[in-house]
Structure 1
Amino acid sequence: MSLSIVIVNRNRAFEIVQKTLDSIYPQLNDSIMLTIVDYGSTTEYQQKINALIEEKYPAINLILCPTQGQLFHKTRAINMVLRDCTATYFMVLDMDCIAHPEFVEKALILASENEVINFPYGFLKKEESKNLKAFNDYHVDFIGGLTGTAIFNTEKLQSINGFDEFYHNWGAEDADMFDRLERIDVHTNLYQEEVLLLHQWHEKGYRDIKSKQPFHSYLEKINHEYYTLSRKRNTTKVNINNNWGLPCDPAAYRLLNEPVERWEFKNYLQEITGLLTSLVEQRVEQRVEQPVEIRITKVLKNSKDKIKKILNKKTKPVLDMDLVNDRLLETIILHYRNRPYFYEYDRDLSVIKVFI
């Protein structure tokens, strides 16, 4: 009986990372493997985590994805490991958890082919998270419910094409998986006998709207609406129209540094509509060797426009830049999510740049 554990990471603070790895690393052996998929941490961060793994945790497999400037895509990162996994069981673990010293052993005892065992978190407060203690000495603030950490039968996950890669950032991807497994008679059991995982407190920096990193203003709400519709449609198998679990080719990402064209747009309604339509209808999917730079800048209203508005004369309709940002990211999620791309939105300068 073997187990493959995957942890997806992006720029998690190293003190949190080390507590997580120090707790799980002693539980690994020849049949219990751990893979970390670092999906788009800064280049400097990836260099540091690579050095850390080589020095302190050599038995861990590290996959570095050069996806800086992309939306966080946890489901794809998980599926990279799941797709070709040959272990009997598969587990997703978060990079902010402290594992009980016997966590893996107990998880394997509980594991079965037609049941998913889900492990709730004991949440720690900010100050308690900073402490270094034995597992049972931590003071738990409260115990949560259903989480993203569970032990699955690998073949059952693979049979429904893994995690749904529509989901980006955080929200609903784990509940969606549990529901789809229920439809093939694989039931989820919430393990409540004891707390085997502690959740370390941390800030939710990925929601910082001031960052130039891709940020969709209501993406998590879209995730939940999509999940609701999936339930109504009794969806089981996903990723039908896209390859799933595709690895990231570093060579393809390096080509983004050498765009062959620049497409310039203003945030006029017709220009943005034309751009988005073109991206869908004439996808540059096969033009990996010829990336383009798309640059969208905000229209600066002049006195002539103001006079036209006062006189009720027609002016070209303009879209709010935040709306342009959201629509463009939605297009990428639906049509370009497996493609190398780099996205940046400078809200101070009102400039969106996309290399794709």
Structure 2
Amino acid sequence: MNQEVPLLSIVVPNRNRSLKIVRKLLVSVLSQLSNRIQLTIVDYGSALDYQQELAKLVKEFIKVDLILCPTQGQLFHKTRAINIVLRKTTSTYFMVLDMDCICHPEFIDKALELVASGHPVNFPYGFLSEHESQLNKSFDNYNYDFVGGLTGTAIFKTVDLLELNGFDEIYHNWGAEDADMFERLKHKGITTTHYTDELLLLHQWHKKEYRNTGSKLPYHSTLERINHGYFQFSGTLKRIKANQSLPWGLGFDQDQYKKLLEPSFTLELNSTQEEVSALCFQLKESSFDGTLLIRVQEHKHAKSLKTRLKTVLRLKQPQYISLEDSNRLLLETIILNHRNQPYTYHRSNKSIRISLFFQSKSA
């Protein structure tokens, strides 16, 4: 066997996960790594001060690589984080491992033994309580509340993932990207084993801040349901390959991200269906070169007595929509058409602000 060829690449996507949780994962898996078993953390846009602290922590674990993505102010994009590593790996096998896990001391060896049969393997979690997660114990001494079903940790043959164009980058935030991969592999004739003979992973308790509408991060209130519906349609259509309309697994051009701080042009919009939809159409067709700053605010007449009267009388007027509706439309446009472009997205109760970098198609 060629000792220069990596046997297994492990990717751990991350955003703002507690450093205590990160340390527990790394401590549990470190002794299982080697020159042929490589682990890479891809931090997708955590706060800058957090990324600095994360980098310090990872330096303590010399066998662990770290990619810091300059994607602050973006939706969490787990599938792109995974694909960044997948596109570059030359390993025989590929594993996605969730950051909030604690690994059994023989987890990697067992995973490699199982995947050698040719089938992907998915691993269930034993879910720890908030209190139990704070404790430091050996793996077998933790008391878990229950064992869950389908999870985000699995091992694959790398070639199988590459033939399917990797994980589907339509999926943003959390939800369905792992089930989507298993389903597409099944349509290709490759079934996934759900390994339940023994428990090899524990799940550390943590808050789910990203689901909080008060969060400063981009938030789409129905995105997880859209993800689920998209997954169901993929199954119905028996889709195998993903990412056929846009490139996938792209890295980041730091110089382009710096240009987000220097808008070339500014657009001011009111939150009406007509204006926001027109902007979304324009963004799709634009050959703009540089950074476009977009501000959206509620129309000053949206809640006026005159507007309410026109609504009752069914008189013609702009279709006023809430900032939340504009938020959804704009984020969906970014997901569909502009997810590979540098962008930052900020929202508040009074306005939405987007900086979006375009590079001329002729450049």
Question: Where does residue 159 of structure 1 map in the other structure?
Answer: 163
Q: In the alignment, which residue of structure 2 is the partner of 1:35?
A: 40
Contact 1:114 1:185 in 2 (8 A): no
**Residue ranges of structure 1 left out of the alignment (5+ in a row):** none
Q: Relative to structure 1, is the Cα distance of residues 198 and 283 closer, same or farther in structure 2, using a 3 angstrom cutoff?
A: farther
Aligned CA distance change for structure 1 residues 166 and 283 (closer, same or farther; 3 Å): farther
* Structure 1 range deviating more: 325-334 or 294-303: 294-303
Equivalent residue for 1:136, pick from 129, 135, 140 = 140
Match of 1:343 among 333, 342, 345: 345
Shift of 1:112: 2.4
Match of 1:184 among 188, 192, 202: 188
SS of aligned partner of 1:182? helix
Question: Does structure 1 residue 26 correspond to structure 2 residue 31?
Answer: yes
Q: CA deviation at 1:59?
A: 1.7
Residue 201 (structure 2) aligns with: 197
Match for 1:100 among 94, 100, 104? 104
Q: Aligned partners of 1:40 and 1:154: how far apart in 2? A: 26
| % same residue | 50
Aligned-pair CA distance for 1:268: 2.4
1:314 CA drift (Å): 4.0
**Structure 2 equivalent of residue 246 of structure 1:** 250
- 1:32 Cα offset (Å): 0.5
Cα distance 1:263–1:113, how it changes in 2: closer, same or farther (>3 A)? Answer: farther
1:352 counterpart = 2:357: no
Partner letter of residue 348 of structure 2? D
CA distance in structure 2 between the aligned counterparts of 1:259 and 1:79, rounded to whole angstroms: 30
Structure 2 unaligned regions, length at least 5: 1-5, 357-363
Match of residue 297 from structure 1 = 297
Q: 1:193 & 1:326 partners in 2: Cα distance?
A: 43
- The Cα shift of 1:305 comes to 4.4
Cα pair 1:65 1:250 within 8 Å, conserved? no
| Post-superposition offset of 1:53 | 1.1
Distance in 2 (CA, whole Å) between partners of 1:244 and 1:189 is: 27
Asked if the contact 1:114–1:187 (Cα under 8 Å) also holds between the matched residues in 2, the reply is: no
Matched with 1:91 is 95
- When the two structures are superposed, what TM-score results if normalisation uses the length of structure 2? 0.93
Matched, 1:81 2:64: no
- Give the aligned residue type for 1:29: S
Task: For 1:144-293, list aligned pairs within 5 A.
Answer: 144-282=148-286, 284=288, 287=289, 290-293=290-293
What is the CA–CA distance in structure 1 between the aligned matches of 2:226 and 2:308, rounded to whole Å? 36
Structure 2 SS opposite 1:94: coil
Instruction: Describe the superposition over 1:282-333 as per-residue Cα deviations: whole angstroms up to 9, x where unpaired.
Output: 264xx3xx10100001112356546656776543321111111001000000
Aligned to 1:317: 319
Specify the SS of the correspondent of 2:20: helix
Tell me if the contact between 1:2 and 1:87 (Cα under 8 Å) persists in the aligned partners.
yes
Question: Given that residues 276 and 329 in structure 2 are in contact (C-alpha distance below 8 angstroms), is that contact kept between their aligned partners in structure 1?
Answer: no
Aligned partners of 2:126 and 2:146 also within 8 Å: yes
